[in-house]
Amino acid sequence: MTNPFQDAKLHDCRDAFTNVLETVGETNENIVAVCNDSVGSSKLGGFKDKFPTRLINVGIAEQNMVGVGAGLANAGKIPFVCAASPFLTGRALEQIKADVSYSQTNVKLVGISSGMAYGELGPTHHSIEDFAWIRALPNIPVIAPADRHETAAAIRWAAAHDGPCFLRLSRVGVPDLFSQTHEFVVGRADMLQDGGDLTIIANGVLTHRAMMAAALLKEQGISVRVLNMATVRPIDADAIVAAARETGAIVTCEEHTTFGGLGSAVAEVVVDRQPVPMCRLGVPGVFAHTASANALLDDFGMSPTAIANSAQALLKRKA
Amino acid sequence: MTPTELSKLANRNRARDLRGVFEAGAGHIGGEMSVMDILTALYFDTMSVDPKSPLDPKRDRLVLSKGHTALALYVVLAEKGFIPKEEISTFLQPNSRLNGHPNRVKIPGVETNTGPLGHGLPIGVGMATGAKLNGDDWRTFVITGDGEMQEGSNWEAIMAAAQFKLDNLTLIIDHNRLQQGARLEDTNNIAPLVPKLEAFGWAVEEIDGHDMDQICAALSPDTITAGKPKCIVAHTNKGQGISFMSDNVAWHHKVPNQAQYEQALKELEEASK
Ligand SMILES: Cc1ncc(C[n+]2csc(CCOP(=O)(O)OP(=O)(O)O)c2C)c(N)n1
Ligand SMILES: [Mg+2]
**What's the CATH code of the domain at B250?**
3.40.50.970
**Helix, strand, coil % in chain A, rounded to nearest 5:** 45, 20, 40
Taking phi first (over 0 means left), then psi (-120 to 50 degrees means alpha), and beta for anything else, what does residue B115 get? left
Q: How far is B153 from chain A (nearest CA, A)?
A: 9
Neighbour-count burial for B186-219, b at 16+ CB within 10 Å, e otherwise: ebbebeebeebbeebebbbbbbebbbbebbbebb
pLDDT at residue A108 greater than cutoff 80: yes
**Host domain of residue B82:** 3-51+58-271
Q: What is the pLDDT of residue A247?
A: 98
Residues B180-185 have a mean pLDDT of 97
Q: What's the CA-to-centroid distance between A272 and ligand 2, angstroms?
A: 52
- Residue A2 banded pLDDT, cuts 50, 70, 90: confident
pLDDT at residue B55 greater than cutoff 70: yes
Q: How far is A227 from chain B (nearest CA, A)?
A: 32
B145 lines ligand 1 (CB under 6 A): yes
Q: Which percentage of chain A shows pLDDT scores above 70?
A: 100
For CA atoms A224, A117, B77, B88, the dihedral sign is positive
Q: What's the CA-to-centroid distance between B224 and ligand 2, angstroms?
A: 25
- Residue A28 banded pLDDT, cuts 50, 70, 90: very high
Q: Residue A212 to residues A178, A224, A305, A306, A309: CA-CA distances in angstroms?
A: 15, 11, 8, 11, 12
C-alpha dihedral over A57, A59, A64, A65, to 10 degrees? 40
Contact A129, A90 (CB under 8 A): yes
User: Is residue A63 within 8 angstroms of chain B, CB to CB?
Assistant: yes
A283: exposed, middle or buried (Cβ count in 10 Å: 0-12, 13-18, 19+): buried
Contact B103, B70 (CB under 8 A): no
- Residue B118 banded pLDDT, cuts 50, 70, 90: very high
Kindly give, in sequence order, each residue whose CB lies less than 8 Å from that of residue A243, ignoring residues fewer than 6 positions away: A199, A201, A225, A227, A250
* Domain A13-168: CATH superfamily, name plus number: Thiamin diphosphate (ThDP)-binding fold, Pyr/PP domains (3.40.50.970)
CA atoms within 13 A on the CB side of B86: 0
Verify whether the Cβ–Cβ distance A290 to B152 is below 8 Å: no
B119 lines ligand 1 (CB under 6 A): no
What is the distance between the alpha carbons of residues B258 and B268, in angstroms, rounded to a whole number? 15
Q: What's the CA-to-centroid distance between B154 and ligand 1, angstroms?
A: 13
Please choose from B29, B35, B63, B68 the residue to mutate so as to test ligand 1's pocket, defined by most ligand atoms within 8 A of CB.
B68
Contact A131, A168 (CB under 8 A): yes
Verify whether the Cβ–Cβ distance A40 to B181 is below 8 Å: yes
Verify whether the Cβ–Cβ distance B188 to A61 is below 8 Å: yes
B-chain residues near A121 (CB < 8 A): 99-101, 115
The A residues from 9 to 48 touching B (CB cutoff 8 Å) are: 37-41
What is the distance between the alpha carbons of residues A268 and A262, in angstroms, rounded to a whole number? 10
Q: What is the pLDDT of residue B271?
A: 95
Give the residue, by CA position, lying nearest to ligand 1 atom 21: B31
Query: What's this model's pTM, rounded to 2 decimal places?
Result: 0.96
Residues A270-275 have a mean pLDDT of 98
Verify whether the Cβ–Cβ distance A122 to B182 is below 8 Å: no
pLDDT digits (tens, 9 = 90+) for A249-265: 999 999 999 999 999 99
User: Is residue B146 within 8 angstroms of chain A, CB to CB?
Assistant: no
Verify whether the Cβ–Cβ distance B95 to A291 is below 8 Å: yes
- How many domains is chain B partitioned into structurally? 1
pLDDT at residue A319 greater than cutoff 90: no
User: Is residue A122 within 8 angstroms of chain B, CB to CB?
Assistant: yes
Kindly give, in sequence order, each residue whose CB lies less than 8 Å from that of residue B105, ignoring residues fewer than 6 positions away: B113
Beta partners for residue A264, in sequence order: none
Q: Which percentage of chain B shows pLDDT scores above 70?
A: 100
Q: Where are the beta strands (DSSP E) in B101-253?
A: 140-145, 169-175, 203-208, 230-235
pLDDT digits (tens, 9 = 90+) for A184-236: 999 999 999 999 999 999 999 999 999 999 999 999 999 999 999 999 999 99
Which three-class secondary structure state does DSSP give residue A201?
Answer: strand
The B residues from 91 to 120 touching A (CB cutoff 8 Å) are: 92-101, 103, 113-118
Contact B256, B6 (CB under 8 A): no
pLDDT at residue A139 greater than cutoff 90: yes
B-chain residues near A60 (CB < 8 A): 117-118, 147-148, 150-151, 179-180, 188
Q: Which percentage of chain B shows pLDDT scores above 90?
A: 100
CA atoms within 13 A on the CB side of A68: 20
Nearest-ligand number for the alpha carbon of B38: 1
Give the nearest chain B residue to A59 (CA atoms): B188
- The number of the ligand 1 atom at minimal distance from the alpha carbon of B148 is 15
Residues B28-55 have a mean pLDDT of 98
The partner residue sitting opposite B101, judged by closest CB among A39, A90, A124, is: A124
Q: What's the CA-to-centroid distance between A49 and ligand 1, angstroms?
A: 23
pLDDT at residue B135 greater than cutoff 70: yes
Contact B231, B203 (CB under 8 A): yes
* Chain mean pLDDT for chain A: 97
Annotation says A62 is catalytic: yes
What is the distance between the alpha carbons of residues A308 and A212, in angstroms, rounded to a whole number? 9
Verify whether the Cβ–Cβ distance A120 to B103 is below 8 Å: no
Cis peptide before A234 (omega within 30 of 0): yes
Verify whether the Cβ–Cβ distance B180 to A41 is below 8 Å: yes
pLDDT digits (tens, 9 = 90+) for A153-182: 999 999 999 999 999 999 999 999 999 999
Taking phi first (over 0 means left), then psi (-120 to 50 degrees means alpha), and beta for anything else, what does residue B113 get? beta
Provide ipTM, 2 decimals: 0.93
Query: Cα–Cα–Cα angle for B57, B58, B59, nearest 5°?
Result: 95
pLDDT at residue A1 greater than cutoff 90: no
Give the residue, by CA position, lying nearest to ligand 1 atom 15: B145
Count of residues for chain A?
319
Q: Do domains A13-168 and A190-318 have the same CATH topology?
A: yes
Q: Where are the beta strands (DSSP E) in A102-164?
A: 108-112, 142-143
Q: What is the pLDDT of residue B215?
A: 98
Give the residue, by CA position, lying nearest to ligand 1 atom 10: B180
CA atoms within 13 A on the CB side of A156: 16
Residues A136-153 have a mean pLDDT of 98
Q: What's the CA-to-centroid distance between B267 and ligand 2, angstroms?
A: 22
Q: What is the pLDDT of residue A260?
A: 98
- Which among B71, B190, B242, B237 is positioned nearest to A37, based on CA atoms? B190
User: For the domain with range A190-318, which CATH number is right: 1.20.1260.10, 3.40.50.360, 3.40.50.920, 3.90.1150.10?
Assistant: 3.40.50.920
Q: Where are the domains of chain A?
A: 13-168, 190-318
B32 lines ligand 1 (CB under 6 A): no
Query: Residue A270 is which amino acid?
Result: V
Q: How far is A38 from chain B (nearest CA, A)?
A: 7
